[in-house]
Amino acid sequence: MEHLFSDRVQQVKASEIREILKLTQMPDIISFAGGLPAPELFPIEALKNVASVVLDEMGKEALQYSTTEGYDPLRSKIAARMIRAGVKATKDDILITSGSQQGLDFSGKIFINPGDYVLCESPSYLGAINAFKAYQSAFKEVKTDHEGMDLADLETVIQDTPNAKFIYVIPDFQNPSGRTWSLERRKGIVEIANRYNLVIIEDNPYGELRFEGETIASIKSFDTEGRVIYLGTFSKTFSPGIRIGFVLAAPTLLNKYILVKQGADLQSSTLSQRELNQYLEMYDFDAHISKIREVYKKRRDLMMETIREAFPASAKCEVPQGGLFAWVELPKHIDTKALLIKAVENKVAFVPGGSFFPNGGQENYMRLNFSNMPEEKIVEGIQRLGKIIKESL
Amino acid sequence: MEHLFSDRVQQVKASEIREILKLTQMPDIISFAGGLPAPELFPIEALKNVASVVLDEMGKEALQYSTTEGYDPLRSKIAARMIRAGVKATKDDILITSGSQQGLDFSGKIFINPGDYVLCESPSYLGAINAFKAYQSAFKEVKTDHEGMDLADLETVIQDTPNAKFIYVIPDFQNPSGRTWSLERRKGIVEIANRYNLVIIEDNPYGELRFEGETIASIKSFDTEGRVIYLGTFSKTFSPGIRIGFVLAAPTLLNKYILVKQGADLQSSTLSQRELNQYLEMYDFDAHISKIREVYKKRRDLMMETIREAFPASAKCEVPQGGLFAWVELPKHIDTKALLIKAVENKVAFVPGGSFFPNGGQENYMRLNFSNMPEEKIVEGIQRLGKIIKESL
């Protein structure tokens, strides 16, 4: 039946994330591979209370079909949080999605014709790359440094790419690089998008997990022409298992997302939306996020410290100011895919960096997650990795 | 920014279902429009107990990311139910989806290139038509009678359509027609699909809601070559709000669905999957379904009886043996879209049949849902509709 498959699905290959999630399920492995939050911080008791209240007070509504856009009180609360973060928003700018991954998929569906280009940071998020590839996109990687995209390079790339559709960026504690964009670059990319009439997709799953320094205004907050689409999620601050994210965009653009969601899965879970809304009413979400930040900061500090001690001097790693990931550059001749095989033999896992470069050719990076492992395992795992890297030099 | 939109999304228009769901939210309307289950039958107390157990006993796992395929114990239970229904299945043949609507969307994504044909019953499910259209499919409607598709017409259509990809059917209590396929037609369509090397998508959201007569084996149970893809859901028997459905297919085909789901939303809710699994362990699901059947049978009987009394003799309506919908054919010159406007003025709603014909041109049908309204409203609503129809003759 091969001949019946669509052209687009021929391009969809098993991603390493998936194989890696399988690895992380082995009980005795120290995994820096997935992007998993720390499960010991999940608000389990709160969710139990919230589930009772929702089922007692509005069980019939919570288990029924609802509108595609999402539960209005939750949409309003998200809008209020975005206003606090400097983005003008009302509930009508918000569509509830099943995680922000769904926002990425919809972005591909809405903008990409086969052969169209996505402009992205180099490196960029593997899950986004795969979502866009399913719509037969091509990619141009824009040079990126510790302040974000190199905007001069971005302009050159745009001038060179007539069928560019959107610029996809993760400006806060980027996945995989851990880097954060400067304020100037954020303002600058909006000016460029305005000038060349392009859309920006600002993916911000980690922004609330800042360990130090001042919060930097989102790219969306500088959007005067309604051309920035902002993707948010509760996966890293509440629970990834309930699959609640959102798209924030100007109504004309958002309307496309709503229509596409209707065909894709009608709506996100009514029950999960009402439970999350009830949680936000009954509990102090900001205090909960502070607790997460505190724990992850310790883990980040410990990972950085152990990397400095255990990795060879030729391994480079910037200190991420937040988020979930550290990104290590090794000498050019080291292939981290081969390194992973040795690592797994030694019961430690990470993600080889190659698949974060959509056009390939850069195999000497590794992504290390520091949110999911307890402190003693971070030390032990990084020491093991250090030994393996030194042996490969 | 219009020029940035993909060709496919230009085809996606607001569906009537969505506008109609808005209508049904008006408090004083008698709505036969949506496909909503009866909320008074939702297992609210059971779900409360189940949520407690899941969060107490496995809260960390239930709120964490999990595999794309779904929760293994739930997949196994679904496979066991399918075996009982005559389909050979193991958990490895099952992918958990966010409602069966997601299985429809993925089917479009996996099979349809722009301009490819979907062969479907005439009429067919509006939500499926819209999901496939988003991948730029065209449609050929196959003649359909009270035993299912006319298989001779199906063969003629296939011979006439070189770029047909799959045959989409709803053999049990079809949406919108309420019709059920005979055993012979079920066997026959598999033979035809084998002969012409096509895929069949068997969508079965209502099969367990049979009010009388014997269950007829599914099309999938006659599949010897792994070319039938079966879509199931818990929306009509448990709760639509939790968004749990499934795709059952041979591993080579299912693997495409898994890959596509990974890019689309990573996975369905871990929490909902574990709660549903726990419910199936702690409660008698078949007894629950029996209760639903009993209530819906009464409502169907009452709707049929009232239609016979209140509608003009020229209105034709077959008695559906199960499911959620009755389908009324009115004289050719009546446009049920115009009728709907009058109906809503009289605080009663239904779905005009036109949009269930993907190639249009048939405006004299109406779809009536009998599962969602209590008995007294069914009588009152049908009487009002009868009056409006008589005035339009």
Asked if residue A16 has pLDDT above 70, the reply is no
Residues A145 and A24 grouped into a single domain = no
A46 touches chain B (CB under 8 A): no
Q: What is the domain-level CATH number for residue B144?
A: 3.40.640.10
If you average pLDDT over every residue of chain A, what do you get? 95
- CB contact (8 A) between residue A9 and residue B240: no
Residues B126 and B224 grouped into a single domain = yes
What's CA B177's distance to the chain center, in Å?
A: 11
pLDDT the model gives residue A225 = 97
In this prediction, residue B19 has a pLDDT band, given cuts at 50, 70 and 90, of low
- CB contact (8 A) between residue A260 and residue B22: no
pLDDT the model gives residue A20 = 57
B104, B235, B265: residue with CB nearest A98: B265
A198 touches chain B (CB under 8 A): yes
In tens, the pLDDT along B61-116 reads 999 999 999 999 999 999 999 999 899 999 999 999 999 999 999 999 999 999 99
Q: For residues A147 and A185, is the Cβ–Cβ distance under 8 A?
A: yes
pLDDT the model gives residue A13 = 75
Residues in chain B: 393
Rounded Cα distance between B393 and B390, Å, is 5
In chain B, the residue whose alpha carbon lies closest to the alpha carbon of A242 is B269
In this prediction, residue A10 has a pLDDT band, given cuts at 50, 70 and 90, of confident
Structural domains counted in chain B: 2
- Looking up tokens 């504690």 gives A173
pLDDT the model gives residue B26 = 77
Task: State the smallest CA–CA distance between residue A70 and chain B in angstroms.
Answer: 11
Average pLDDT over residues A381-385: 98
A46 to A53, A282, B50, B322: CA distances (angstroms) = 11, 9, 16, 41
Q: For residues A103 and A88, is the Cβ–Cβ distance under 8 A?
A: no
Give the residue from A226, A247, A282 where a domain finishes.
A282
B84 touches chain A (CB under 8 A): no
In this prediction, residue A341 has a pLDDT band, given cuts at 50, 70 and 90, of confident
B197 touches chain A (CB under 8 A): yes
Residues B187 and B304 grouped into a single domain = no
Give the H or E element holding residue A152.
Answer: helix A151-159
Grouping H, G, I as helix, E, B as strand and the rest as coil, residue B382 is: helix
Residues A70 and A30 grouped into a single domain = no
SS3 content of chain B, % helix, strand, coil (to 5): 50, 15, 35
- Residue B59's nearest CA partner among B271, B272, B279 is B271
Rounded Cα distance between B60 and B63, Å, is 6
Which residues have CB under 8 Å from A268's CB, separation 6+? A70, A96, A97, A98, A243, A244, B98, B243
CB atoms within 10 A of CB A3: 6
Residues of B in contact with A236 (CB under 8 A): none
A227 touches chain B (CB under 8 A): yes
B243 touches chain A (CB under 8 A): yes
- Looking up tokens 């406007």 gives B341
Q: Among A21, A63, A272, A274, pick the best mutation site for testing chain B contact (most B Cβ within 10 A).
A: A63
Residues A221 and A334 grouped into a single domain = no
A135 touches chain B (CB under 8 A): yes
In this prediction, residue A25 has a pLDDT band, given cuts at 50, 70 and 90, of low
A48 touches chain B (CB under 8 A): yes
Grouping H, G, I as helix, E, B as strand and the rest as coil, residue B95 is: strand
- CB contact (8 A) between residue B259 and residue A111: no
Residues A100 and A133 grouped into a single domain = yes
In tens, the pLDDT along B312-332 reads 999 999 999 999 999 999 999
Task: Report the percentage of chain B scoring pLDDT > 70.
Answer: 97
Residues of B in contact with A272 (CB under 8 A): 269, 271-272
CB atoms within 10 A of CB A380: 15
Residues of A in contact with B259 (CB under 8 A): 9, 12-14
B34, B134, B243: residue with CB nearest A269: B243
Q: How many CB pairs under 8 A join A and B?
A: 264
Give the residue from B256, B282, B308 where a domain finishes.
B282
Residues A192 and A214 grouped into a single domain = yes
Kindly report which listed range (A20-24, A186-190, B373-377) carries the lowest average pLDDT score.
A20-24
Residues of B in contact with A44 (CB under 8 A): 55, 59-60, 63
- Looking up tokens 């964490």 gives B64
A242 touches chain B (CB under 8 A): yes
Average pLDDT over residues B37-46: 98
Task: State the smallest CA–CA distance between residue B365 and chain A in angstroms.
Answer: 23
Kindly report which listed range (A44-58, A201-215, B339-353) carries the lowest average pLDDT score.
B339-353
In tens, the pLDDT along A275-320 reads 999 999 999 999 999 999 999 999 999 999 999 999 999 999 999 9
Those of residues 252-291 in A touching chain B at CB distance below 8 A are: 252-253, 256, 259-260, 262-272
Average pLDDT over residues B9-32: 74
Residues of B in contact with A158 (CB under 8 A): none
Residues of A in contact with B252 (CB under 8 A): 1
Residues of B in contact with A33 (CB under 8 A): none
Rounded Cα distance between B77 and B79, Å, is 5
A131 touches chain B (CB under 8 A): yes
β-strand A117-121 against A138-142: which pairing, if any?
Answer: parallel
DSSP codes of every residue in A23-46? HTTSTT-EE--S----GGGS-HHH
Q: What is the domain-level CATH number for residue A350?
A: 3.90.1150.10
Give the residue from A262, A282, A302 where a domain finishes.
A282
Q: Among A21, A64, A109, A265, pick the best mutation site for testing chain B contact (most B Cβ within 10 A).
A: A265
In chain B, the residue whose alpha carbon lies closest to the alpha carbon of A20 is B67
E runs forming strands in chain B: 30-31, 94-97, 117-121, 138-142, 144-145, 148-149, 164-169, 199-203, 228-233, 245-248, 316-317, 325-329, 348-349, 351-352, 365-369
Rounded Cα distance between B151 and B158, Å, is 10
Does pTM surpass 0.90?
A: yes
B246 touches chain A (CB under 8 A): no
Burial class of residue A75, CB neighbours in 10 A (0-12, 13-18, 19+): buried
B56, B102, B268: residue with CB nearest A264: B102
What's CA A87's distance to the chain center, in Å?
A: 19
Residues B155 and B196 grouped into a single domain = yes
Q: For residues B90 and B248, is the Cβ–Cβ distance under 8 A?
A: no
Domain that holds residue A264: 44-282
Residues B66 and B205 grouped into a single domain = yes
DSSP codes of every residue in B305-348? HHHHHHS-TT-EE---SBSSEEEEE--TT--HHHHHHHHHHTTE
Task: State the smallest CA–CA distance between residue B197 and chain A in angstroms.
Answer: 7
Asked if residue A19 has pLDDT above 80, the reply is no
Asked if residue A106 has pLDDT above 90, the reply is yes
For chain A, what is the largest distance between any 2 Cα atoms, rounded to a whole number of angstroms?
Answer: 63
pLDDT the model gives residue B75 = 98
Asked if residue B167 has pLDDT above 80, the reply is yes
- CB contact (8 A) between residue B109 and residue A56: no
In chain B, the residue whose alpha carbon lies closest to the alpha carbon of A114 is B6
Asked if residue B23 has pLDDT above 80, the reply is no
Rounded Cα distance between A259 and A29, Å, is 43
- Residue A13's nearest CA partner among B112, B92, B259 is B259
Q: For residues A351 and A385, is the Cβ–Cβ distance under 8 A?
A: no
pLDDT the model gives residue B20 = 57
pLDDT the model gives residue A18 = 59
Residues B275 and B340 grouped into a single domain = no
Residues in chain A: 393
Burial class of residue A60, CB neighbours in 10 A (0-12, 13-18, 19+): middle
Those of residues 301-340 in B touching chain A at CB distance below 8 A are: none
Task: Report the percentage of chain B scoring pLDDT > 90.
Answer: 92
Residues B348 and B327 grouped into a single domain = yes
Report ipTM for this prediction. Answer: 0.96
- CB contact (8 A) between residue B47 and residue A59: yes
- DSSP assignment, residue B210? B
- CB contact (8 A) between residue A65 and residue B1: no
Residues B269 and B317 grouped into a single domain = no
Residues of B in contact with A66 (CB under 8 A): 241
Those of residues 136-175 in A touching chain B at CB distance below 8 A are: 165-166
Those of residues 6-25 in B touching chain A at CB distance below 8 A are: 6-9, 12-15, 17-18, 21-22, 25
